[in-house]
């Protein structure tokens, strides 16, 4: 799916080579527990699993897209929704290469994904889990109408440091 300056393509193993470079910068991981991919092979294997679009137990639907900057014709990140269809909720994650921050690409990608989720799943709520100090991400979620729901003090460990974790949520209008 496409809108404005970006296109979202369902994640496939063939994206791993280009995404390995996109996901390598350390700045990406300042506020998230992930680490850069270890190798193109490891990322290819991960994308093989994700491209099945469901968890092994079948309870969750996994929607993952790479984000393409159409003008530059290159991948700039990924966006993900993990859908629990029993409770009609999804949690989202988004990660962009630092060279693409500060230009509104993440906001465009989120809007496009949310529109797709609204159209294709009968969801009631979207939510996101964040480090409370991840100001860029908090600002992005506020612009998209998400509100703070929980704030847990020193509840997660990121690279050996205890950090506050917040969740932000948005009801889906029908």
Ligand X SMILES: CC(C)(COP(=O)(O)OP(=O)(O)OC[C@H]1O[C@@H](n2cnc3c(N)ncnc32)[C@H](O)[C@@H]1OP(=O)(O)O)[C@@H](O)C(=O)NCCC(=O)NCCS
Q: Which residue is nearest to ligand X (CB)?
A: 104
Residues near ligand X, by CB under 6 A: 28, 31-32, 93-96, 101-107, 128, 130, 134, 136-137, 140
- C-beta of 78: minimal distance to ligand X in Å? 9
- C-beta of 174: minimal distance to ligand X in Å? 25
Query: Measured from the CB atom, is 41 or 145 closer to ligand X?
Result: 145
CA dist., res. 70 & res. 109, Å (int): 12
Query: Measured from the CB atom, is 16 or 23 closer to ligand X?
Result: 23
- C-beta of 142: minimal distance to ligand X in Å? 10
Instruction: Supply φ then ψ for residue 157, to 5 degrees.
Output: -110, 120
**104, 123, 102: which is closest to 114 by C-alpha?**
123
**150, 87, 140: which is closest to 114 by C-alpha?**
140
CA dist., res. 39 & res. 19, Å (int): 11
| 147 Cα distance to chain centroid | 17
Query: Measured from the CB atom, is 50 or 106 closer to ligand X?
Result: 106
- C-beta of 150: minimal distance to ligand X in Å? 15
């Amino acid at each position: 799916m496409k809108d404005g300056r970006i296109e979202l393509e369902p994640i496939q193993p063939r994206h791993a080579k280009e995404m390995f470079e996109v996901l390598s910068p350390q700045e990406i991981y300042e506020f998230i527990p992930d680490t850069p991919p270890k190798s193109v092979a490891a990322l290819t294997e991960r994308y093989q699993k994700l491209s099945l679009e469901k968890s092994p137990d079948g309870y969750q639907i996994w929607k993952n897209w790479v984000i393409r900057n159409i003008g530059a014709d290159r991948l700039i990140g990924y966006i993900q929704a993990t859908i629990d269809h029993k409770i009609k909720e999804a949690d989202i994650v988004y990660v962009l290469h630092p060279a693409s921050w500060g230009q509104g690409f993440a906001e465009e990608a989120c809007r496009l994904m949310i529109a797709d989720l609204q159209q294709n799943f009968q969801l009631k709520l979207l939510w996101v889990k964040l480090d409370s100090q991840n100001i860029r991400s908090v600002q992005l979620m506020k612009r998209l109408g998400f509100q703070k729901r929980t704030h847990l003090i020193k509840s997660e460990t990121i690279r050996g440091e205890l950090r506050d974790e917040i969740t932000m949520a948005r009801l889906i209008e029908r």
